[in-house]
């Protein structure tokens, strides 16, 4: 099996091996993956962080030797903590912006070696050596007004489950990529007045399928990605939008995840 790493700001992960097909997720700078198959200039990959599978262009990622991949995987990683910052590619003498939540693997003096290239990151780092669920709401609030983007999971655009996954990642907790799978994690909360800040609230459509997720901020308020990352009111019925003067999402399930 071959391995790789993302060395761009963000890379689209697509449903099928062609740029015209749907983006189902994204790789962020520093994230590792296994290469399952190569076809017509595309890699079929499994992302290490969440085991999510999809296709990436071979021109947008770097392959790794097994020893380098294993060394990176075994390190307790840190992630970028600034909402948006610049990283320098010292090998190619360029710089580019990266989002909060990118993996940087214990940089020495701010220098990171990935795929035979050296990068320099001077910004804030978050230590992932132990879960910090109490900080999840703070991380979530950083992304207020980020535009909605199907398959997105960065400050450049994110969907509801990508937003939740990234806020949890920054709190040192790994959760799956999609809302319906996230709903199987942690423990169930039966009454909304028993929820705590950072708990996940799930919502379903008319067919009863879970299709939306958000993070409880405090009693009566939720932060979620709907059009943009926004704060709305929440009660036992669901999400209530003052702007639209109606409920926009029907509450289905509440879960608490404190480790992972």
In this structure, what CATH number is given to the domain that contains residue 251?
3.90.1720.10
What's the rounded Cα separation, in Å, for the pair 99 and 27? Answer: 11
Running DSSP on this structure, what letter comes out for residue 93? T
Q: Do 123 and 137 belong together in one domain?
A: no
What Å distances lie between residue 36 and 45, 54, 200, CA to CA?
5, 10, 32
Between vectors from CA 98 to CA 96 and to CA 100, what angle results, nearest 5°?
165
What's the rounded Cα separation, in Å, for the pair 61 and 7? Answer: 6
What's the rounded Cα separation, in Å, for the pair 168 and 181? Answer: 15
Q: Do 92 and 137 belong together in one domain?
A: no
**What spatial distance separates the first Cα and last Cα of the chain, rounded to whole Å?**
26
Q: Are 132 and 171 in contact (CB under 8 A)?
A: yes
pLDDT at 110: 82
pLDDT at 184: 97
pLDDT at 214: 98
Q: Do 158 and 231 belong together in one domain?
A: yes
Q: Do 113 and 168 belong together in one domain?
A: no
Q: Are 188 and 255 in contact (CB under 8 A)?
A: yes
The residue count of the chain comes to: 260
| Domain finish residue from 127, 147, 165 | 127
pLDDT at 109: 79
Residue 55 domain boundaries = 2-127
| Domain finish residue from 127, 148, 182 | 127
What Å distances lie between residue 3 and 38, 79, 92, 164, 169, CA to CA?
12, 20, 22, 26, 22
Q: Do 227 and 172 belong together in one domain?
A: yes
Residues 112, 117, 120, 125, CA torsion sign? negative
**Tokens at residue 151, please?**
């398959």
Which stretches of the chain drop beneath a pLDDT of 50?
A: none
What's the rounded Cα separation, in Å, for the pair 80 and 98? Answer: 8
Q: Do 141 and 61 belong together in one domain?
A: no
pLDDT at 136: 97
Q: Do 223 and 202 belong together in one domain?
A: yes
| Domain finish residue from 127, 150, 174 | 127
Q: Do 95 and 155 belong together in one domain?
A: no
């Amino acid at each position: 099996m071959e391995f790789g790493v993302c060395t761009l700001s963000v890379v689209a992960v697509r449903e099928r091996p062609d740029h015209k097909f749907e983006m189902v997720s994204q790789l962020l700078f520093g994230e590792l993956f296994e290469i399952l198959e190569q076809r017509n200039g595309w890699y079929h990959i499994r992302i290490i962080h969440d085991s999510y599978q999809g296709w990436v262009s071979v021109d947008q990622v770097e392959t790794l030797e097994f020893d380098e991949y294993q060394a990176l995987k075994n390190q307790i990683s840190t992630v970028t903590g600034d909402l948006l910052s610049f990283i320098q590619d010292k090998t190619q003498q360029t710089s580019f912006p990266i989002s909060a939540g990118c993996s940087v693997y214990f940089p020495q003096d701010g220098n990171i070696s990935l795929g035979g290239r050296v990068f320099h990151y001077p910004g804030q780092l978050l230590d992932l050596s132990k879960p910090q669920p109490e900080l999840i709401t703070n991380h979530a609030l950083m992304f207020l007004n980020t535009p909605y983007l199907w398959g997105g999971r960065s400050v450049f655009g994110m969907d509801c489950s990508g937003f939740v996954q990234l806020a949890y990642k920054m709190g040192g907790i790994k959760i799956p990529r999609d809302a319906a799978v996230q709903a199987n994690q942690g423990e169930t909360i039966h009454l909304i007045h028993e929820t705590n800040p950072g708990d996940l609230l799930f919502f379903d459509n008319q067919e009863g399928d879970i299709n939306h997720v958000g993070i409880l901020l405090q009693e009566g308020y939720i932060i979620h990605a709907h059009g943009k990352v926004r704060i709305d009111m929440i009660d036992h019925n669901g999400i209530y939008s003052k702007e639209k003067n109606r409920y926009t999402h029907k509450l289905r399930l509440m879960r608490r995840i404190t480790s992972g």
